Amino acid sequence: MKHLGAVLPPLGLAYIAAMLEKEGHEIKIVDGPAWATVSEYGYEELEKDLLDFNPELIGISASSSQLDHVKNCLNIINKTVPNAKTILGGTMVSSYPEILIEDLKEINYGVYGEADLTFSDIVNKIEKNESLENTEGVIWRENGNIKFLKPKMITDLDQVPMPARHLLKMEIYRPSPANFRRVPATTLISSRGCPYQCIFCSRPTEGTAFRAHSAKRVVDEIEYLINNYGIKDIQFFDDTFTLIPKRVEDICKDIIERNLDIGWNCMTRLDKINPDLLSLMKKAGCYEIGVGIESGNDRVLTFIKKSLTTDMVRKGVKMIKKVGIDVRGFFMIGFPTETRNEILDTIEFAKDIDVDVAQFMVATPFPGTELWKIAQENGTVSNDWNSFTFYAPDKIPFSSELLNEKELVSLYKKAYKSFYLRPKFILRQAAKIRSYMDVQRNWQAAKGVIGF
């Protein structure tokens, strides 16, 4: 995280905390990754915080690559507050609940999918000394096997309180250099769920139903962030921000009517935009849109079920750039069956369509995804969970029968260097510099590329 220059607030934890505070519980959030990045916070400090707060229940959120950190935390928890119940949440346990019997036997329970409602149920049952087994959204062990019930789905997001950001150190957070223009900057989630079926996405594990905050609630939260934290820049963390164009139109119009001084960026699909909507977004402060392009080869796009073609991508990128909004393209290499030439197609395609920012990732077969099954049939899946990160400076989670790990890492580094070290790109970035903040952002980004 220090290398990438991004420190993002854990909104998932803050949402759970807001729900629990609403019910009168005392909450403390330890944002280990962020605190370790910006200060010298480590396991000794965690031990002190546990002793001082003396919690009765501890929730740990973790992705697959954070397994070793979870184990270290558990060792400290068992030493300092051995009577506290422990709950594991996050994408790892939702997509691969078996982790509770394979690697994390010390954890008491897991949470499947969205935890806002489930965690409240857990706390209430623990207070009443009731069993958590057969609770919706809870993962438990039974006779050496894993059992769980799908959680209740939150259908009206406006019923969920705003994240408890007052429990976070808001001054330490900052998106990656490509994802902000001014500071203070932060993130905001205005919708949940994605109805698409890309084979690499873990969303189907947690549910694909799209649900969204009302336009008014979204703009109320923007105004709250401006008034309480001086926020000048927001990164929307929705999977597909423009899935319902009318809602986005209402958000933009409300931002304009309230005369809010806010810049923002979002992520969406290239088949969910149109010129009129883009013009309104630009007027309301949108300066960048991130789009999942993934590949520059039509066969690969079909293989990963992206429901896009390279022609659609070209037209969409051109449409966004025409209204003066930057394009951040997400690309992925190393899929099963993908050849070296097809990966080179993607690298050249990124340069050809001339996105303003290119983010390259390696195909990561997370458990529970369709890619997980396909990868096991077409190559070697690593047993080192630390490599399951999408990023590959040293090692990767999957190597195919066509390309070994060394070749894929080399292509990954080639993608970044060949895109960002072009004279055309460097000159364009220099021409965009308008402030000292722009200089800082570009220098941070340059260090990241040079680091490869």
Domain 174-450 has CATH 3.40.50.300: no
Tokens describing residue 422: 């072009």
- With a threshold of 0.85, does the pTM exceed it? yes
- pLDDT-based confidence at residue 151 (cuts at 50, 70, 90): confident
DSSP 41: -
Sequence-distant (≥ 6) Cβ neighbours of residue 212 within 8 angstroms: 157, 190, 191, 192, 243, 244, 247
Sketch the domain layout of the chain as residue ranges.
Answer: 11-148, 174-450
pLDDT for res 229: 97
- Using DSSP bridges, classify how beta strands 286-294 and 326-333 pair: parallel, antiparallel or unpaired: parallel
Q: Which residue has the tokens 């959030």?
A: 29
- The radius of gyration computed from the CA coordinates of the chain, to the nearest angstrom, equals 22
Distinct helix (H) and strand (E) counts, the chain? 18, 15
C-alpha distance across the termini of the chain, in Å: 15
d(CA 4, CA 145): 40
Contact 173, 29 (CB under 8 A): no
Q: What is the pLDDT of residue 400?
A: 86
Q: What amino acid occupies position 266?
A: C
Does the 11-148 domain belong in CATH 3.40.50.280? Answer: yes
**Residue among 287, 218, 285 nearest 250 (CA):** 218
Average pLDDT, the chain: 90
Distance between CA atoms of 175 and 181, rounded to whole angstroms? 10
pLDDT digits (tens, 9 = 90+) for 53-99: 999 999 999 988 888 999 999 999 999 999 999 999 988 898 889 99
What is the C-alpha separation between 265 and 289, in angstroms, rounded? 6
Closest Cα partner for 350 from 370, 363, 332?
A: 332
